[in-house]
Amino acid sequence: MFEDERERSETGSIDRRRMLQTLGAGGAVVVAGCLGDLDGGSNESDADIQLLTMGVGDNIEGFFDENNTAFEEEHDVSLEFTSVTWDNAKQTVNNRVDGGQAPDVARWPARWIPQLVGKDALEPLDDLMQGEFYEQFYEGMAEGCKYEGSYYGVPWASSNKCLFYNKDVFEAAGLDPENPGLDTWDDMLDAATTITNNADTPALGLAGAEAIETGSQYYHYHWSHGADLIDEEGQPVVNSEAGVQALTFYTDLHQEHGVTQSSPLSSTRQDIRQLFENGSLGMVIAHVYAGLNIQEGDADFDFGIVQVPKGPEGRYSLNTVDTLAVLSQSDAKELAHDLIEFYYDEERRFQYSSNKGFMPVVQSVGERDHFTESKVWAPFIEAGQYARARPKLSNFSEFNNRVVLAIQEALGGQKTPKEALDSAQSELEEMMG
């Protein structure tokens, strides 16, 4: 049966793909007809505008419910709200773009902008990103939405990192919980060694599992040792002397000094954060969210937050910006602008940032006492000066995956840090041509 199909399509001179596709679709329509429409005629979405976002936990669901309804009433339209999981977000949106079913407005990480722009799938927002509207954002974040001279998104959420430490554990190990002295990586290692020798709790959370975030955790070490991921020409430079030093330090924390939780190769960033939140870890590099979570829960320990330690060549805090983007397929672009402006009402931005645990992107929001006066938020606002983003590469996830493999090889003792980074480098060179 498949043979017939293929033969027929080869003799035809019209676009084979289109024909087969139509044929398939025709068959599916027939089936649909035979079964009767189970949905009572609601085929495609009949909403006036579709908003897609990712990872809406129960802490923010109410925010969207309430405001989407308010928007619907204000503009007398219907809005369809979809939240997809982060794991599937990129694929789902790409499938929908390819299939002509793109949402009108979507949350889209700035680092994924090049990929969709390459497909002509994003609408430039230059006419929106100017004047007063533009000036409300922190400049670095607004510029993070720019690609090839145009703004393809409006900053929506941002995150960065600090070092959390458990004051109770520090005290139990004989360290001063109020002056932890965690300025450099070596300071951190000293404290970790003391904790390992004097307390039962594992001293330091180290991510090593096969996951995107393992890269995000490691890059702090990489950058602060003076190493880079790509050079100005966009070529990989992961195996520099400094890079080898950084990875050596990272793996030695586990192999040589044994100051980490057990089995880091199976620990994701979420695992170590969770351990810290439950008081089972001395230190961890994490988002502001970890702190909010501990405050909210009924944890029975005290914690402190300091900046990510400094390396020989500086201090960095990995910064990620997500945007709100308009898809070019949208036939409701004006309404899409209205929706964006609606959500950038200052009060709504405040609600969002404070509920969700993402860093404010709007300056006037970030300057509110809620953030500057808070023990948890303040260090993160301060960390803004150390912000560093991942390189903007359209194939960054492939790049990142390869680096994570090298981290794992070194952590697992299969290769020395140098060997691991050297083979990553040569494969990355090949990949990026």
Partner 1 sequence: MGTVERDTDRPTRIWRGATHLYHNRWAYLLIAPAVVFLVSVVGYPIVETFRLSLYQSPADSPIETYVGLAHYAAILDSDVFYQLLWQTGRWVVLGVAGKTLLGLLIAVHLKGDIRGRKFFRTAFLIPWGIPYAISAVVFRWIEHPQYGALNAILMKLGVIDQGIGILGNPETAWIGVVVADIWIGTPFMAIILLAGLQSIPEELYEAASIDGARRWEQFRYITLPQLKSVIFIATLLSTIWTFVSFDVIWTMTRGGPINTTSTLVIQIYQVGLENGDLGRGAAYSVIGFLFLLVFAVSYLRVYTRGGDEL
Partner 2 sequence: MAGRNRSTLRTVRVYGVLLALLGIMMFPFYVMLTSTLKPENELFSSPVTLVPSELTIEAFLSVWGQTDVLLWVANSFLISLGTVVLTLVLAIPAAYSCARNDFVGKRSFLLSVLVVQMFAPVVLIVGLFDVITQAGLFNTYLAVIIPAAAFTLPFNIWMLYGYFKTIPVSLEESARIDGASQLQILTKIVLPLTKPALVASITYTFLYAWNRLLFVLTFLTDSAKYNVPRGVFSMVGALQTDWQMMLTVSVIGIVPLLILFAFLEEYIVSGLTAGAVKE
- For residue 137, the SS3 value is strand
> Under the criterion CB under 8 A, does residue 84 sit at the interface with partner 2?
yes
> Under the criterion CB under 8 A, does residue 431 sit at the interface with partner 2?
no
The dihedral built from the CA positions of residue 117, 122, 123 and 125, taken in this order, carries a sign that is negative
> Under the criterion CB under 8 A, does residue 24 sit at the interface with partner 2?
yes
Distance CA 294, CA 274 (A): 10
Please, which residues bridge with residue 157 across strands?
322
Single residue of 7, 8, 19, 22 touching partner 2 by CB under 8 A: 22
Nearest one of 248, 192, 203 to 222, comparing CA atoms: 248
Nearest one of 347, 327, 354 to 52, comparing CA atoms: 327
Residues 28-67: x where in contact with partner 1 by CB under 8 A, - otherwise, as a string: x-xx------------------------------------
Nearest one of 107, 115, 48 to 78, comparing CA atoms: 48
Token pair 């301060």 is found at 382
> Under the criterion CB under 8 A, does residue 4 sit at the interface with partner 2?
no
Contact, 288 vs 382, CB < 8 A? no
Contacts by 295-302 with C-beta closer than 8 Å and gap 24+?
295/376, 301/166, 301/167, 301/168, 301/169, 302/166, 302/167, 302/168, 302/177
Which tokens is 349 given?
Answer: 């931005």
* Least CB distance to partner 1 at residue 418 (A): 17
Distance CA 406, CA 208 (A): 10
> Under the criterion CB under 8 A, does residue 432 sit at the interface with partner 1?
no
* Least CB distance to partner 2 at residue 233 (A): 33
Residues 264-293: x where in contact with partner 1 by CB under 8 A, - otherwise, as a string: xxxx---x---x----x-------------
Distance CA 109, CA 379 (A): 24
Q: Tell me which H or E stretch contains 355.
A: helix 346-356
Q: How many residues bind partner 1 (CB under 8 A)?
A: 50
Token pair 């004047």 is found at 131
Distance CA 344, CA 1 (A): 56
Q: From the list partner 1, partner 2, none, pick the one residue 264 interacts with, judged by a Cβ distance below 5 to 8 Å according to partner type.
A: partner 1
Q: Which stretch binds partner 1 (CB under 8 A): 124-132, 149-157, 205-213, 319-327?
A: 205-213
Contacts by 70-79 with C-beta closer than 8 Å and gap 24+?
71/338, 71/339, 71/342, 74/342, 75/335, 75/338, 77/48, 77/49, 77/335, 78/46, 78/47, 78/48, 78/49, 79/47, 79/48, 79/49, 79/50, 79/51, 79/339
Single residue of 12, 24, 62, 297 touching partner 1 by CB under 8 A: 24
Of the pair 157, 410, the CB lying nearest partner 2 is at 157
Q: From the list partner 2, partner 1, none, pick the one residue 297 interacts with, judged by a Cβ distance below 5 to 8 Å according to partner type.
A: partner 2
Token pair 């509110």 is found at 368
Single residue of 78, 95, 266, 414 touching partner 2 by CB under 8 A: 95
> Under the criterion CB under 8 A, does residue 21 sit at the interface with partner 1?
yes
Of the pair 214, 293, the CB lying nearest partner 2 is at 293
Q: From the list partner 1, partner 2, none, pick the one residue 277 interacts with, judged by a Cβ distance below 5 to 8 Å according to partner type.
A: partner 2
* Least CB distance to partner 1 at residue 208 (A): 7
Q: Which parts of 303-362 interact with partner 2 (CB under 8 A)?
A: 356-358
> Under the criterion CB under 8 A, does residue 124 sit at the interface with partner 1?
no
Query: Listing from the earlier edge strand, what are the strands of the sheet with 303-306?
Result: 283-286, 162-166, 303-306
Single residue of 9, 92, 136, 193 touching partner 2 by CB under 8 A: 92
* Least CB distance to partner 1 at residue 405 (A): 7
CB-CB neighbours of 193 under 10 Å? 17
> Under the criterion CB under 8 A, does residue 262 sit at the interface with partner 1?
yes
Single residue of 408, 417, 424, 428 touching partner 1 by CB under 8 A: 408
> Under the criterion CB under 8 A, does residue 23 sit at the interface with partner 1?
yes
Residue 79 corresponds to which amino acid?
A: L
**DSSP assignment, residue 257?**
S
Nearest one of 126, 125, 127 to 106, comparing CA atoms: 125
Q: From the list partner 2, partner 1, none, pick the one residue 14 interacts with, judged by a Cβ distance below 5 to 8 Å according to partner type.
A: none
Q: Which parts of 25-44 interact with partner 2 (CB under 8 A)?
A: 25-26, 28-29, 31-32, 35, 37-39, 42-44
Q: Which residues bind partner 1 (CB under 8 A)?
A: 1-2, 5-6, 9, 17, 20-21, 23-28, 30-31, 90-91, 94, 114-120, 208-211, 261-267, 271, 275, 280, 394-395, 397-398, 401, 405, 408-409, 412, 414
Q: Which residues bind partner 2 (CB under 8 A)?
A: 1-2, 21-22, 24-26, 28-29, 31-32, 35, 37-39, 42-45, 50, 52, 54-61, 80-88, 92, 95-96, 98-101, 103, 159, 270, 274-275, 277-278, 280, 287, 289, 293, 297-299, 356-358
